[in-house]
Structure 1
Amino acid sequence: MKHPEKERVDGVAPGDGPQKQLKRMLGKADLRAVPETRRALRELLRHWGRPGRSEIAELLTSELVTNALVHTDRDAELTATVGPSGLRVEVRDDTDRRPRLRVPIADDGTNGRGLLLVQSLADAWGVVMLGAGATGKVVWFELDGGTA
């Protein structure tokens, strides 16, 4: 069942300063969500980080969203939070299959490179298996603003 697209950008003021957040439901196998998510993230990050950081964030987000939509037969949810300490992007899906880093095959076009890009370009990344009564996982990455 496809969920109607939900997008929310909020300003929140936790202890370390103001944050903005983008949340988006991604319908199963709806690859139109990839460029739409990039556009929404670009808007969220319009005044963030040094030049080039936003483009890296868009690329890595595209990879995580594409993986969730292509390699699962389920809906997914994107949460991107940007604040003074940087950006954290999480993509949650309801499958218990852990993503694997793959060495791409030369004749395989562009397939198999997504997590390698995330590993190479993110400041930190990982996978959290939900467990404890919840099914699924969250694949995430973080980027600092690159202002130092």
Structure 2
Amino acid sequence: MGHADLSAVGDVRRDLREFLRYRSPAEAAEVAELLLSEIVTNALIHTRHGAVVTVTAGPEKVRVEVRDFMSDAPRPYVPNADDGTHGRGLVLVRSLADAWGVTAQALGKVVWFELSGTG
């Protein structure tokens, strides 16, 4: 995906939905889609080099990773009523994921989340 090519977010969501179709309950897959789209959108808006998505599904959990190529960690942000929809991505991830975090890489970082009980 290229920088700010936000049209790619729908493609990534569709690919995740297809991947999880027989691996995860529909409700968990919907949450995964929502959180993935938030993290991918952040990566595309805030970096210049696109993003790489990796998804693994096991019997107990789904793990989604979005790697970008900028080392700046996501900053905590508390949106206010005047922000519209801006700033709510990581709030959703914190609220809906069973675990999440940011892992530094030699070049860039990986923002990841896990959903448990998906098997």
Q: SS where residue 107 of structure 1 aligns?
A: helix
Question: Which one of the candidate residues 45, 59, 67 is aligned to 1:92?
Answer: 67
Structure 2 stretches lacking a partner, 5+ long: none
Matched, 1:145 2:117: yes
Structure 1 stretches lacking a partner, 5+ long: 1-25
**Contact map agreement 2:23 2:118 (CA 8 A) in 1:** no
Structure 1 residues 95-129: Cα deviation after superposition (integer angstroms, max 9, x where no partner): 01100121002111100000010000000000011
Structure 1 residues 26-48: Cα deviation after superposition (integer angstroms, max 9, x where no partner): 22221111010010000001123
Q: Name 1:70's counterpart in structure 2.
A: 45
- 4+ residue stretches of structure 1 with deviation over 6 A? none
**Contact map agreement 1:50 1:145 (CA 8 A) in 2:** no
Identity %: 60
Question: Which one of the candidate residues 63, 72, 84 is aligned to 1:109?
Answer: 84
The two structures have a TM-score, normalised by structure 1, of 0.76
Q: Distance in 1 between matches of 2:65 and 2:34?
A: 14
Q: Name 1:9's counterpart in structure 2.
A: none
Greater strand share, structure number: 1
Q: Write the mapping of 1:29-40 to structure 2, written as runs, cut at 5 A.
A: 29-40=4-15
**Contact map agreement 1:48 1:145 (CA 8 A) in 2:** no
Relative contact order, higher structure (CA 8 A, sep 6+): 2
Greater helix share, structure number: 2
Amino acid at match of 1:141: F
Structure 1 residues 5-43: Cα deviation after superposition (integer angstroms, max 9, x where no partner): xxxxxxxxxxxxxxxxxxxxx222211110100100000
Q: How many residues in Structure 1 have an aligned counterpart in Structure 2? A: 119
